[in-house]
Amino acid sequence: MSTSERDRFETRAIHAGQTPDPQNGAVMTPVYLTSTYKQDWPAELKDGYDYSRTKNPTRTALEENLAALEGAAWGLGFASGMAAVNALMGRLVPGDHVVAGNDLYGGTYRIFARVFERYGIGFTYVDTTEAENVRAAMTDATRYVFVETPSNPLLRVTDLAAVGRVARAGGAQLVVDNTFATPYLQSPLEHGADVVVHSLTKYLGGHSDVVGGALVGNDEALREELAFLQNSVGGQLGPMDAFLVLRGTKTLAVRMDRHVANAERLAAYLQEHPAVETVIYPGLESHPQHEVAKRQMRGFGGMVSFELRGGVEAGNRFAASTRIFTLAESLGGVESLVEVPPSMTHASIPAEQRRAAGLNDGLVRLSVGIEHVDDLVADVEQALEKAVPALARS
């Protein structure tokens, strides 16, 4: 690795895992479009490279880069966030149990409920913002406590140190999906997590042009188990995609600073608007876990959720009326996006279960991009006027 652990985040982001090519000095990591590698003698490998499902130099560069960003010993790149979750779940056997947040990315809930339940793995979903809920849900068979913080889409913040203690006391590992915060704003391994999950598709890629996932951690035995699954099951990240994410992580710090500043401004604006019923943003003092967020995060993120007076109808009208915010799933790219989770990203969670978890049908979620913030505020303002004409401010 070309960087030292003493280098700061921005420096590691640009250099970790990447050294100029020793043959020709190329500064950028090449996209190694090769499936196989020449051996000089049978089974005598150069640096462990024999086949690209197992290992590819562009993916290795990204894996080292991601490890450096999380302050971790290792990273593993997967074809998507869900492929990363799938590899993690591949360690479990029938009868094992997982305690998971009740406010998870819809696809994570779906792979648990519709794939792994069929394999005899049990799941209990709780509000993980109270560590006591996690403790009460754990059994002798609990292997993972699986937490998203801030969660998607309700932006609930879980106290990782507290939940980590509960997990360890019960002999389980703490898995943290750090997609929303990114390693720039939150370091789950420092707070007791055993494995960090990422959807690279979001802020780490950062340009809405690649789908990828990762697992990051410190324990070497765990790395070996997960690398075995990565290689055995497949689902690893391709070299072109690894290159795109490497390009994204170089600017993560500057992008996140702008995402956070823009989101803070929009959250404050929405909070004052008469057409808005509630705003959810960890940076607002009104957020129920604002204090935990201040302790655990270095910034409050670029996601803002809110409900309008006028419920589902108003929310849908808002989402269809924005000019700069594009109505689309996903998040974390430079461009602003708007979506309505109950009928889009979270439609795979049954309606009753959604409502029981506090995810109301009228919720609107913004992925605040890095456009000029005045343009974003103006766009939200005009869309609010169309969504709730009676309560428009002007």
In single-letter form, the type of residue at position 244 comes to L
In angstroms, the CA 147 to CA 103 distance is 9
Q: Which stretch binds ligand PLP (CB under 6 A): 101-109, 257-265, 352-360, 366-374?
A: 101-109
Contact between 238 and 79 under an 8 Å Cβ cutoff? The reply is: yes
Asked if 106 is part of the footprint of ligand PLP (rule: CB under 6 A), the reply reads no
Angle between helical axes of 373-387 and 311-321 (0-180°, round to 10):
140
Q: What is the DSSP letter of 114?
A: I
In single-letter form, the type of residue at position 307 comes to E
Q: Which stretch binds ligand PLP (CB under 6 A): 30-38, 39-47, 92-100, 195-203?
A: 195-203
Residue 202 among the catalytic residues = yes
In angstroms, the CA 78 to CA 200 distance is 9
Q: Which of 32, 37, 49, 105 is catalytic?
A: 105
Asked if 196 is part of the footprint of ligand PLP (rule: CB under 6 A), the reply reads no
Q: Which structure tokens are listed for 300?
A: 């409050």
Asked if 71 is part of the footprint of ligand PLP (rule: CB under 6 A), the reply reads no
For residue 180, the minimal CB distance to ligand PLP (Å) is 6
The residue written with tokens 């499902």 in the block is 53
For residue 173, the minimal CB distance to ligand PLP (Å) is 18
From the list 17, 77, 81, 188, which residue makes contact with ligand PLP (rule: CB under 6 A)?
A: 81
In angstroms, the CA 239 to CA 249 distance is 15
Residue 219 Rama label (left phi>0; alpha psi -120 to 50; beta): beta
Q: Which of 59, 135, 202, 223 is catalytic?
A: 202
Give the nearest residue (CB) to ligand PLP: 81
Asked if 367 is part of the footprint of ligand PLP (rule: CB under 6 A), the reply reads no
Asked if 105 is part of the footprint of ligand PLP (rule: CB under 6 A), the reply reads yes
Asked if 213 is part of the footprint of ligand PLP (rule: CB under 6 A), the reply reads yes
Residue 53 among the catalytic residues = yes
For residue 104, the minimal CB distance to ligand PLP (Å) is 8
79 Cβ contact list (under 8 Å, min separation 6): 211, 212, 213, 235, 236, 237, 238, 241
From the list 88, 121, 126, 211, which residue makes contact with ligand PLP (rule: CB under 6 A)?
A: 211
- Which residues of the shown chain bind ligand PLP in the complex (CB under 6 A)? 80-82, 105, 107-108, 148, 152, 177, 179-180, 199, 201-202, 211, 213
